[in-house]
Amino acid sequence: MNELSNSLAAADIAHQLHPYTNARAHEEKGPMIITRGDGIRVYDSTGKEYIEGMAGLWSVAVGFSEDRLAKAAYDQMLKLPYYHTFAHKSTEPSIRLAEKLAEMTPEHLTRCFFTNSGSEANDTIVKMVWFMNNALGRPEKKKFIARHKGYHGITVASGSLTGLGGNHRDFDLPAIPVTHLTTPHFWREGAEGETEADFTARLLKEIEDTILAEGPETIAAFIGEPVIGAGGVFVPPEGYWPGVAALCKKYDMLLIADEVINGFGRLGTPFGSQRYDFEPDIMTLSKQISSSYMPLAAIMLTDAVYDVIADNTAKLGSFGHGFTGSGHPVACAVGLENLKIIEEKDLMGNAARMEAPFQEGLRKLLDHPLVGEVRGVGLIAGIEFADKTTKVNYAPAGSVAAKAAALCTEEGLIARNVYETLALCPPLIVTEEDVAEILARLGRALDRLS
Ligand code: PLP
């Protein structure tokens, strides 16, 4: 540690309460201070180099040194650093980005609402759904169906949709009407002797039974990530999503695809709903939309959803919702440039091409005595630590994944421990040599894990 590192660490401990951190442990341990980035790599305040195997928080598609994004931000700051989009005002970057998103997302998604974060986007969606059903004269149709281990954010409404105890405990969540159903994870949740098709049928029956028990007239929407990310990386069983979509249609429920992690090529297709062959009514986008160089999220809507909301705004005189930063011109200019880079460099195609070396390389870790399952698609993966035959995770909860993540850090690879799983989600710019280097560092870390 150098002098600057020491004084920064002391100030951090003295003044900052960190998200997702044990504050008392942090006072002892201190921060890992990241000072610069270059491509898929970041460097800490001691000069140590790491491959960012998590793309930050599942988000930095274009890598950590894209000059074009810095220039887009600078140019927009000089021209118009801020303006809002309330009350008929608009700005060129927000217009161009909305247009671009309508062009990139599946054809039926035509309208866009901007927020600053994925949580705000999902909170907004909850309010939109309620606003819609009030407008349609069915005020009792307000409940949501979500899944255990699904992640939709941490604000009061989005945190309620999230199906993770750690986000609910002592926060008095869920605070909105939501039922969390079985995680679509065949390896863990499949019953003895059940085939994958049987498992899918059972989960779909669970959803339908819940709708019927609660009353279809009370269930407004189903929300899910095509592939669950932050809850532990869970790939759905065959036929699950088309089945969910059919139930939503049958019971006149909206289908919300939370593609905050999945969107823009992460799964090897432009959007996760395309990989799993379903058409959501509403889609949540964030993270790779701007490679997180600026906070930005977008909600995509069909014309049908938009029309109900729009008619009600005409009736009430306004849509009484929006953020100071909705459609922020600098964030939108950066987002637009980022999407151009993703297209010009064919990063979504690269993710599809890198799937085989990445996923196949990771599957070799199944030989490790502590690894229970390796799962993932495209450029997202999870390695779950459990006894292979009994599938029981090791005690204390999460300890092996935490140790694995710490060993990866020592070996120069940032991976993230989420519960019992070590997650990897590298920038979409990775080359085959990068993938080989990620696997080598991971292998060295796991060789030291006992
Ligand atoms: N939805 C999903 C699928 C996410 O993965 C996340 C964040 O990880 C969110 C929503 C919340 O986004 P934010 O952290 O920007 O509020």
Instruction: Measure CA 131 to chain center.
Output: 25
By most ligand atoms within 8 Å of CB, the mutation choice from 261, 285, 416 for ligand 1 is: 261
- pTM here? 0.98
Q: Which of 297, 329, 344 is the last residue of a domain?
A: 344
**Confidence bin at 2 (pLDDT 50/70/90):** confident
By most ligand atoms within 8 Å of CB, the mutation choice from 114, 115, 119, 425 for ligand 1 is: 119
Residue 3 lies in a domain: no
**What residues are in contact with ligand 1 under a 6 Å CB criterion?**
117-119, 122, 151-153, 225, 229-230, 258, 260-261, 286
The CATH number linked to 95 is 3.40.640.10
The CATH number linked to 413 is 3.90.1150.10
Check pLDDT > 60 for residue 61.
yes
Token pair of 35 as six digits: 């000072």
Query: How many angstroms separate the alpha carbon of residue 57 from the centre of ligand 1?
Result: 9
By most ligand atoms within 8 Å of CB, the mutation choice from 266, 287, 425 for ligand 1 is: 287
Could you tell me if 339 and 353 lie in one domain? no
Q: What is the structure's pLDDT at 3?
A: 83
Could you tell me if 288 and 430 lie in one domain? no
Could you tell me if 250 and 383 lie in one domain? no
**Confidence bin at 17 (pLDDT 50/70/90):** very high
Question: Distances from the Cα of 406 to the Cαs of 42, 58, 128, 417, 422, in angstroms?
Answer: 16, 18, 41, 9, 11
Closest residue by CA, ligand 1 atom 1: 152
Could you tell me if 332 and 397 lie in one domain? no
Closest to 72 (Cα-Cα) out of 104, 107, 97, 47: 97
Query: How many angstroms separate the alpha carbon of residue 260 from the centre of ligand 1?
Result: 6
Q: Which of 284, 314, 344 is the last residue of a domain?
A: 344
- Index of the ligand 1 atom closest to the CA of residue 117: 15
Average pLDDT over residues 9-25: 97
Query: How many angstroms separate the alpha carbon of residue 114 from the centre of ligand 1?
Result: 14
Range of the domain at 271: 69-344
Given a contact cutoff of 8 angstroms between Cβ atoms, the answer to whether 57 and 287 are in contact is: yes
Query: How many angstroms separate the alpha carbon of residue 312 from the centre of ligand 1?
Result: 29
Structurally, the chain folds into a number of domains equal to: 2
By most ligand atoms within 8 Å of CB, the mutation choice from 59, 114, 151 for ligand 1 is: 151
**Confidence bin at 1 (pLDDT 50/70/90):** low
ipTM reported for the complex surpasses 0.95: yes
Classify residue 354 by burial, with Cβ atoms within 10 Å: 0-12, 13-18, 19+. buried
More confident position, 82 or 4: 82
Could you tell me if 43 and 125 lie in one domain? no
Interatomic CA distance for residues 20 and 250, integer angstroms: 39
Query: How many angstroms separate the alpha carbon of residue 7 from the centre of ligand 1?
Result: 32
Could you tell me if 368 and 405 lie in one domain? yes
Interatomic CA distance for residues 121 and 92, integer angstroms: 21
Residue 230 lies in a domain: yes
Closest residue by CA, ligand 1 atom 3: 260
Interatomic CA distance for residues 120 and 284, integer angstroms: 10
Phi, psi of 414 (to 5 degrees): -90, 115
The per-residue pLDDT for range 400-445, each reduced to its tens digit, is 999 999 999 999 999 999 999 999 999 999 999 999 999 999 999 9
- Index of the ligand 1 atom closest to the CA of residue 297: 15
Interatomic CA distance for residues 321 and 417, integer angstroms: 36
Name residues whose C-beta falls within 8 Å of residue 128's C-beta, 6 or more positions apart in sequence: 113, 282, 299, 301, 305, 309, 321
Query: How many angstroms separate the alpha carbon of residue 179 from the centre of ligand 1?
Result: 19
Question: Distances from the Cα of 164 to the Cαs of 116, 169, 176, 232, 257, in angstroms?
Answer: 23, 9, 15, 10, 18
Question: Distances from the Cα of 222 to the Cαs of 48, 146, 230, 240, in angstroms?
Answer: 44, 6, 19, 13
Residue 177 lies in a domain: yes
Closest residue by CA, ligand 1 atom 10: 152
- Index of the ligand 1 atom closest to the CA of residue 153: 11
The per-residue pLDDT for range 237-262, each reduced to its tens digit, is 999 999 999 999 999 999 999 999 99
